[in-house]
Structure 1
Amino acid sequence: MKFICEKSNLQEAVFTVQKAITGKSSMPILNGILIETNGSELILTGSDIDLSITTKIEATILEEGSVIINAKLFGEIIRRLPNDDINIETIDDNTTQILCKKSKFNIINMNTNDFPELPNINENMLFSIPENILKNMIRETIFATAQDETRPILTGILFEIKNKTINLIALDGYRLALRFETLDNDNEINAVIPGKTLNEVSKILEDREDNVDITFTPNHILFNLGKTKIVSRLLEGEFIKYKSIIPEEFNLKVTAKREELLNCIERASLMAKDSNTNLIKLNIEENNMIITSNSQLGMVKEEVNIILQGSTLQIAFNSKYLIDVLKIMDEEEIILNFSSSVSPCVIKNKDKNNCTYLVLPVRLLNN
């Protein structure tokens, strides 16, 4: 194999496929990048079996072939080379040479026959969605996925498509995030994608209106962005019936300015950080919400102007869960719905109806 390509193009391609390589695999082959030639293109692939990313770049191919090189070392070498064309060729079965200006590296490569075969997916595209919309939908739900493996299904996000609507749902037992958009598509899909996959997908998606094509199989999902393809296994099992968790009736409704409320809760949380629950208390009154926190460090009191519809209420929360929600919402005013001091709080935008967030309260002894 022998080819020449621009450093910037190669560096970006390596950075993209490295997202699928954990570097922790007991199989050395999975710590490498597969580099293949195809006509005037170079194809780079990274995989940890569960997640695979392939991307193509233009190159001058002088000799066809393929090679696997340790991803971490190759990435570091390419990143530190001068900004010029890079010449790469295999010297023998075990060695690949990298030349750029006066720099020369000879590195040991691996046998391409040992690289895992990627799932063969028939790309009968099920639906497409603008990159920027999908990127935002992932960002606005992924924070609510479970971080521990006790219930593996909750480490993923449910993709639910029906009635010309796409829903993304994440929950971890303490909070729930639901984000939805209308979709001109009659397909019905119900699949759970690993949070790790969607975290990497969101980094590759760009903030533009170009479509990403998405194909599902019984076991895999494929994201096709033209030059780059991402294939991931789906999580097995049945997702929690989330609709039964979200209350539909409430005793009181609070309208508040999102940023003002966020700032007050963030300040109050400073005093709560010495406890595992990050406990803050909300005393909801007629025209204001009093936020307090007491700990061994001291106490804090904050007040926020609100519009209250309904009776007053005292309720407590893990401040981190409220902060996570308020940070990713983007409207100036939001609605907080409550039923009791031991019932979930449901948070929505005031104007645009495209998301629902649920946070469970912390049960206080006097409740």
Structure 2
Amino acid sequence: MWFTCEKELLENAINTVQRATSNKTTYQILEGILIKAIDNKVVLTATDLDLGIETYIKANVNKNGAIVVNSKLFGEFIRKLPNDIIMIEVKDNNVFIKCNKSEFVIVGNNPDEFPSLPSINENTMYEISQDLLRNMIRQTIFAIAQDETRPILTGILFEIKDGMLNFVALDGYRLALKSESIESSQNISAVIPGKTLSEISKILEPSDDIVKITFTPNHILFTFENTKIISRLLDGEFINYRQIVPDEYKLRVKVSKNELLDSIERASLLAREGKTNLIKFEISDDKMVITSNSQIGKVYEEIEIELEGEGIKIAFNSKYFVDVLRIIDSEEIYLEFSTSVSPCVVKKCDSNNYIYLVLPVRL
């Protein structure tokens, strides 16, 4: 194998596929990147057997071939090279890397031992813009479960139903639901691992370029620009989230999102000191009072609101409110309540495409 390419292109490709390499494995080949040079392009592939990423760059290929190199070492060396043309040549499993007056030799591994990515028939595709997919992930992924006791909750439900694409995440204490219309007459339901979507969101650009999405019973494929990302799906039945979201409320508060976020963040400073993250809401007439206290002090915050219905006293884990208020893209929001032990529903005032539900703390 022998090719030359631009350093910046190669570095970006390495950064993309490295997200799928495995650092905790007894199977050494999974710590590497498979590099294939063929027909004036270089294809880079990495996988941890659950997630696989493949991307390609343009190159001047003088001799076709393939090799597996250690991802960390190869990536760090390429990053430290000057921005110029890089030459890479393989001789007897030794990889020679040259750029200007720098030369580096690394021992490669047999490419035949590298596991193949699953083959996916790309006949049925769903299309969504990179920016929209990126935002749908961002506005739901924070609500997935972090522990493995219920593995299905460590992923996000990808649901297409009645012309709507829904992303749903929940961890037993809160639920985030983001919905957008999609051109599809088919219905589908699958649970994508949170790790997969987290890595995809770091690769996606805030652009209108299209991402093509394809499913098999066990895998999902995302294709955009020069990159393919393949992930296994989570096994099991996702919770019927439609039964969880209340259809009605007894009181509703309209409030400035930024004012509420600032107040809760100040109150949460003391709530964290108390080891409980507990903040209390007292809602009445045209104001909302937020308090927290610990052994070292108290916080009192008052915000102007518009109230429909009777007042209420209720308490929450401050983190669950801060998480959603930091990502919700609306200047004003609704908080809907039924009782002091029922979930609070957070919605945007200017759109019905986002719902967040959080359970209160019993006082």
- The normalised TM-score by structure 2 is 0.99
| Equivalent residue letter for 1:290 | V
SS in 2 for 1:321: helix
Matched, 1:19 2:19: yes
2:47 corresponds in structure 1 to: 47
- Structure 2 counterpart of 1:11, which letter? E
Aligned residue identity for 1:141:
T
- Greater Cα shift, 111-120 or 336-345: 111-120
- Deviations 1:46-92 (CA, angstroms, capped at 9, x unpaired): 11010000001000001110000000000100000111100101121
Post-superposition shift, 1:23? 1.6
- Residue 276 of structure 1 deviates from its aligned partner by 4.0
**Is 2:122 aligned against 1:149?**
no
Question: Unpaired segments of 5 or more residues in structure 2?
Answer: none
Alpha-carbon distance in structure 1 between the residues aligned to 2:172 and 2:278: 17
**Whole-angstrom CA distance in 1 between matches of 2:279 and 2:22:** 37
Kept in 2: contact 1:126–1:187 (CA 8 A): no
Give the alignment of 1:283-302 within 5 angstroms. Answer: 283-302=282-301
Q: Would the aligned equivalents of 1:271 and 1:299 in 2 still touch at CA under 8 Å?
A: yes
Considering only aligned residues, what root-mean-square deviation do their CA atoms show, in Å?
Answer: 0.8
The answer to whether the 8 Å contact 1:125/1:213 transfers is no
Q: Distance in 2 between matches of 1:202 and 1:7?
A: 24
Map of 1:287-366 to 2, 5 A cutoff?
A: 287-364=286-363
Q: Give the structure 2 partner of residue 208 of structure 1.
A: 207
Aligned to 1:86: 86
Any unmatched runs of 5+ in structure 1?
A: none
The residue aligned with 1:159 is: 158
Work out whether residues 345 and 359 of structure 1, in 8 Å CA contact, stay in contact via their aligned partners in 2.
Answer: yes
How far 1:297 moved relative to its partner?
2.1
Q: CA separation in 2, counterparts of 1:231 and 1:277? A: 40
| 1:224 has 2:223 as partner | yes
Cα contact 2:252–2:309 (8 A) shared by 1: yes
What is the one-letter code of the residue matched to 1:354?
A: N
Q: CA deviation at 1:120?
A: 0.5
Partner of 1:179 in structure 2? Answer: 178
Cα displacement (A) at 1:162 = 1.2
Deviation at 1:184, TM superposition (A): 1.2
State the SS of the aligned residue for 2:273: coil
Aligned residues: 363
Letter aligned with residue 112 of structure 1: P
Distance 1:166 1:175 in 2: 20
Give the match's secondary structure for 1:12. helix
Q: Distance in 1 between matches of 2:319 and 2:204?
A: 27
**Does structure 2 conserve the Cα–Cα contact (< 8 Å) formed by 1:159 and 1:192?**
yes
Normalising by structure 1, we get a TM-score of 0.98
What residue is the counterpart of 1:4 in the other structure? Answer: 4
What are the equivalent positions in structure 2 for 1:51-62 lying under 5 Å apart? 51-62=51-62
SS in 2 for 1:116: coil
